[in-house]
Amino acid sequence: MSKEVVVITGAGSGLGASLARRYAEMGSHVCLLGRTKEKLEQAANTLTGNDYSVYPIDVSSKIEVTETFHKIKQDVGAVDVLINNAGLGAFDLAENITEESVHSMIDINLKGTIFCTQEVLPTMKDSNSGIIANIVSTAGLEGKVTESVYCASKFGVRGFTESLLAELKDSKIHVFGAYMGGMKTEFWDGIFEENEMEGLMDPEDITDIIVNNVKPRKNLNVDQVVIKNH
């Protein structure tokens, strides 16, 4: 029997790298996707075994996404689990957020999630199986000071996730949204002081919750989990 193929975007650090380690421990073939090949390879070096593959990609590019997922299918087979984790944030008062930052957040956080999902849906529909997990953040549930555009992008991901749930409700494809608060990762480097980082959540704890809630269970479906800081 072939191994489960798990694709994780933003896998070079933080939660993405933690999820990659967990799925590797579980015996899956893990595809690590992200912008920086060096970071992906560093993350890959922490995995159990060597059943993984690395794909540098800009998820905001439809062409790159299409080419990469075609290569994944050729290299290791159809995707069983897609975790849309890639994301970035630029935080300031609404009027101060630069045009470049606006484009980056909408392109990577929202369009990247849409593009990657579009690539796996046809095959998942053909087999009537698969998991799509979108890492959204609590910024997709409520507006926050200095996070207006980040929230806008994440509200978009929430809308996309809820629409997928509606479209796929009669199928066996599992769609899941994770809405969590701040984690202790390099995402916050240069934004939070060291003492502020102390109150953030451990990515390993978030990984536990995500993995336990996306796995198929009989007569049960968890479509979203909200995880907040104390």
Q: What is the pLDDT of residue 186?
A: 57
Burial class (CB in 10 A: 0-12, 13-18, 19+), 228: exposed
Q: What is the pLDDT of residue 229?
A: 79
| Residue ranges for the chain with pLDDT beneath 70 | 1, 182-200, 230
Distance CA 222, CA 229 (A): 21
Q: What is the pLDDT of residue 161?
A: 98
Q: What is the pLDDT of residue 122?
A: 98
Share of the chain above pLDDT 70, in %: 91
Look at phi and psi of residue 49 and say left if phi exceeds 0, alpha if psi is from -120 to 50, else beta: left
Catalytic positions: 150
Q: What is the pLDDT of residue 36?
A: 96
Q: What is the pLDDT of residue 211?
A: 94
Q: What is the CATH T-level fold of the domain 5-227, as seen in this structure?
A: Rossmann fold (3.40.50)
Q: What is the pLDDT of residue 95?
A: 98
Identify residue 50 by its one-letter amino acid code: N
SS3 content of the chain, % helix, strand, coil (to 5): 45, 15, 35
